[in-house]
Amino acid sequence: MATTITITGAGGQIGYALLFRIAAGDMLGPDEKVRLRLLEIPQGLGAAEGAALELQDGAFDLLEHVEVTDDAATGFDGCDIALLVGARPRGPGMERADLLAANAGIFGPQGRAIAENANPGVRVTVVGNPANTNALIAAASADGVPAERFTALTRLDENRARAQLSVALGAPITGIRRVPIWGNHSATQFPDVTHATVDGRPVLDALAERFDDVQGWLDQTFIPRVAKRGAEIIEVRGSSSVASAANATIEHTRDWVRGTDDWTSAGVVSHGEYGVPEGLVSSFPVRAVDGEWRIVEGLELSDWARSRIDASVAELACEREAVRALGVL
């Protein structure tokens, strides 16, 4: 049996970077056949149809079927994995409340369509921003589907954090582990090096050998660099992160299905862990066990880490309030 994967916004940039890697087996492995559903709005259908033609020309062994549609019920019919990439970007002069309202108009109906049409056990990875709150809206709209099935992508932030540590320490990326992201996928996020290791040694010890003022480096260089990396990419490249975002989407979803051997980061629904209000979709350190994300519990948090996490979680709570004010939740 093939796995049916629905990609919304499949005619966009990240969609284009995702489709061919999924068809090549990068997400579910070399033995899993895939059926792709490309869900777009009418204006994006041409780009998605073009991508479907190219998928055909890729002659991928694992690709059983491709369908392009602008109908959500068709797009999510029999879906096992939904990658919700299509979202409304912030336009000029758009306030945050307008942005949340526009996205509620996308992720609410998509959540309902998932509940009505997807397979039981569907896994949803929300990429489109504001990703955490979009995941919350979709989950709240999907009657009968456990909220744990809706996640937000923060793996790109974690990858950026590990990459910055690799550069700062002159150490290969493979040796750098346990660098979770906490909170929102936004400038308030907290990339946490407290428990991180480099080749099994505490990262904090390795940083102390390189920097006189490690705390200053973390606050003034590392955290802003990671949190504002998206803006840096736009400035240098002239366009937002695409291939790295697609790569992180594939890694997040692959780990969710196939399991992790260590911590990673994902935006998942809180049950009150670490004092994060219940129901918020917040990034946490997680492991994937038996096809489910589990929050790594029992970590000690310094006052500094606590205040950073609280600030990002407060932003998530504000976003939830703004969505509630729209009558969406």
Q: What b/e string do you get for 198-234 counting C-beta neighbours within 10 Å, with b at 16 or more? A: beeeebbebbeeeeeebeeebeeebbebbbebbeebe
Restricting to residues 137-176, name those near ligand NAI by CB under 6 A: 153, 156
Indicate which single residue of 3, 125, 129, 312 sits in contact with ligand NAI (rule: CB under 6 A).
129
246's enclosing H/E stretch is helix 243-258
Restricting to residues 4-43, name those near ligand NAI by CB under 6 A: 8-9, 11-15, 39-41, 43
SS3 35: strand
Q: Is the peptide bond before 146 cis (omega within 30 degrees of 0)?
A: no
65 is catalytic: no
**176 vs 248 by CB, closer to ligand NAI:** 248
CB of 99 to ligand NAI, least distance (A): 10
Q: What is the DSSP letter of 278?
A: T
Whose CB is nearest to ligand NAI? 12
268 binding ligand NAI? (CB under 6 A): no
- Is residue 69 a contact partner of residue 37, using CB atoms and an 8 Å limit? yes
SS3 34: strand
91 binding ligand NAI? (CB under 6 A): no
CB of 127 to ligand NAI, least distance (A): 5
Indicate which single residue of 87, 136, 147, 323 sits in contact with ligand NAI (rule: CB under 6 A).
87
Structure tokens given for 315: 């932003």
Structure tokens given for 307: 């205040």
CB of 1 to ligand NAI, least distance (A): 26
- Catalytically active residues are 185
Annotation: binding site: 9-15, 90, 96, 103, 110, 127-129, 160
Residues comprising the binding site for substrate? 90, 96, 129, 160
